[in-house]
Structure 1
Amino acid sequence: MQYIVFTDLDGTLVDHDTYSYEAAMPAIDMLKEKGIPLVFCTSKTRAEIEVYVDELNTGHPFISENGGAIFIPHDYFDVDYVSSRSTEKYDIIELGTDYSLLRNVLLNIAASEDLSVTGFGDMTDVEVSKDTGLDLDSACLAKQREYDEAFKLDGDEKDAETLISKIQANGLNYTRGGRYWHIIGENDKGKAVNILTQIYRKQYGDIKTVGLGDSLNDYPMLKVVDIPYLVQKHNGKHDPKIMDAKVNKVEGIGPVGWNMAISELLM
């Protein structure tokens, strides 16, 4: 039986404030030693994820922008699968909506409903850096969006309800993550994980999937894996919006909880 580990990044594998994954390194090394794929499934862009792929030398497929696309390195699988397009490095399975369409819809909603919405597309690299705490190079990578617009809403819950209603009326969807809202198409993390899981199953046969996240936008992923874990958020509490008893709640913040969950699983 082969484990496949799917994980969120911000607030889960990497610290919410420092963006460090050092606390999770013992478990990451354990996965490498046992030959267990570590698949990033995050709201981050392809360009951002590639930094972690290179730093951690994983070389596995990854899922960008809340399930917007699955990036599979060439010759990674021996089995056949259908992709949307290929680049020099990847076969890409696209599930999301084009970024420019998402931006246009969001801007139109904000203007027509008089909502104070600020998207990454409205911000400079310096502004994104200041707002997120990312260094300038990382902020530049965060703006290279393809299937998802990250944004902030400056308003009350009534404004939030109006925004949600208008996004859905346009045939689109949204998530509310640890830092930002995201406007997306029909994609979500769970749909992408399901597709990639089926390819892994064709490759390995008997597999067991593991998922780790920290917030509500991870729940679609946590619902479809065999073993779901919810780590504590940076405030030391679990996301109260995830009440599913099947989700294992880990007593550890971000990468600390991540390390505990994986270490205990593999012991």
Structure 2
Amino acid sequence: MKARPCSGVIFTDLDNTLVDPRGEAGEAGDAYLEALELGYRIVPVTSKSIYEIIELWDSIGVPRGERLALVESGGAFYGPPGSLSRPTGFNRDVGLEYTELGRPLTSIDAILDSLARTCRTVRLSRANAWEARLITGLPLGRAVLAARREYLEVIWSGSQECLDAIFSKALQHRELTYVHRAPRTVQIAAHRGKGRAVDAALQEPLLRPCSRRVVTAGDSSHDIPIIERGDPSFRVDYNRDWSRLARPIYLVIPDKPPRAWRRLVETLKTLYKTPSL
């Protein structure tokens, strides 16, 4: 796959940045397609599985040659056949090749089982459809796709004390290089997270022509490693604590998704004096 002329690359979070809490893109889908037509490569950087992203791309109508993603918080980089310099393998279910950026869950399964036995929990990768819906808050069909995990485990419990105990124990395992405490879950992986994944993606020949303009977008402190690598960078503002940022955010988007991503594209057109299509 040959690199095409490129206006820049947009690394974007999905949940509450491009899609709403139910996973709907709405008008952000049209903005996504417009950004592609303006010459941008777009790379979702998300905790979602590749199967969730495929459903999103299909709903938007993203061309097969433009399907790039950093999945499961940086566990692997997916792209069209022939697009990656050193692919690890080819996923026949989605028709994309991928480069692993860490170890798969199968390599740390025994540790994850031990952590899950700490108290009453559910591992998302082993959840049935109804458990997956409870954990993710997504409609049933999307929740099933979310449970198809390969690089990032999500451990749920109804007890905050239980989650605190799992989080503390997970930090003691050197093999677990990514441990994130969310309000209702603990997310665990053997990779280096979203920021390092963005760095790795920018080394790919496909994206090198785009690296003169790296645009980033996110909505929470979990997205700080993405946002810090952008210029310009966009923060979808929900009055959250951003004190951990190493440098100031360039632009704040006051809208909620999916309107937020439309505002992002319109702002890029204004900044770089790009006419509307």
TM-score computed with the length of structure 2 as normaliser: 0.81
Question: Which residue number corresponds to residue 237 of structure 1?
Answer: 239
258, 261, 266: which one pairs with 2:264? 261
Q: Identical aligned pairs, as a percentage?
A: 25
Q: 2:103 aligns with which of 85, 97, 101?
A: 97
2:26 to 22, 28, 31: 22
- The separation in 2 between residues aligned to 1:66 and 1:25, in whole angstroms, is 21
CA contact (8 A) 1:210 1:225 kept: yes
CA contact (8 A) 1:11 1:178 kept: no
1:217 is matched with which residue? 222
**More helix per residue: 1 or 2?**
1
**How many Å apart are 1:243 and its aligned residue?**
4.1
Q: Say if 1:214 and 1:62 are closer, same or farther in 2 by CA, change over 3 A.
A: same
Distance across 1 between alignment mates of 2:200 and 2:245 = 25
| Deviations, residues 54-73 of structure 1 (Å, cap 9, x unaligned) | 22233331111010000121
Q: Secondary structure at the match of 1:15?
A: coil
Structure 1 distance, partners of 2:10, 2:207, is: 16
Equivalent residues of 1:119, 1:150 under 8 A apart? yes
The answer to whether the aligner puts 1:168 opposite 2:171 as a matched pair is: yes
CA 179–193 in structure 1, closer or farther in 2 if over 3 Å, else same:
farther
Shift of 1:130: 4.1
2:82 alignment partner, one of 75, 81, 103: 75
Q: How much has 1:118 moved relative to structure 2?
A: 2.5
CA contact (8 A) 2:47 2:73 kept: yes
* Partners of 2:45 and 2:70 within 8 A in 1: yes
Q: Which amino acid aligns with 1:100?
A: T
Matches within 5 A, 1:144-223: 144-156=148-160, 162-171=165-174, 172=176, 173-177=178-182, 180-200=185-205, 203-204=208-209, 207-223=212-228
Is residue 2:113 matched to residue 1:107?
A: yes
Cα distance change, pair 215–104 in 1 and its aligned pair in 2 (3 A) = farther
1:231 Cα offset (Å): 0.7
* Paired residue secondary structure (2:213): strand
Q: How many residues matched?
A: 257
Gaps (5+ residues) in structure 1? none
Look up the SS of the partner of 1:253 in the other structure.
coil
Q: 2:46 aligns with which of 31, 34, 42?
A: 42
Contact 2:163 2:186 in 1 (8 A): no
1:151/1:182 contact within 8 Å kept: yes
Counterpart-to-counterpart distance in 2, 1:105 and 1:87: 26
CA distance 1:64–1:202, change in 2 (3 Å): closer
Q: CA RMSD in A?
A: 2.6
Q: Which moved more, 1:2-11 or 1:131-140?
A: 131-140
Alpha-carbon distance in 2 for matches of 1:241, 1:145: 31
Matched to 2:220, the amino acid is: S
Displacement after TM superposition at 1:125 (Å): 0.8
Pair 1:11 & 2:16 matched? yes
Instruction: Describe the SS at the equivalent of 1:37.
Output: strand
Secondary structure in 2 matching 1:199: coil
TM-score when normalising by structure 1: 0.83
Q: 1:241 to 1:161 in 2, by over 3 A?
A: farther
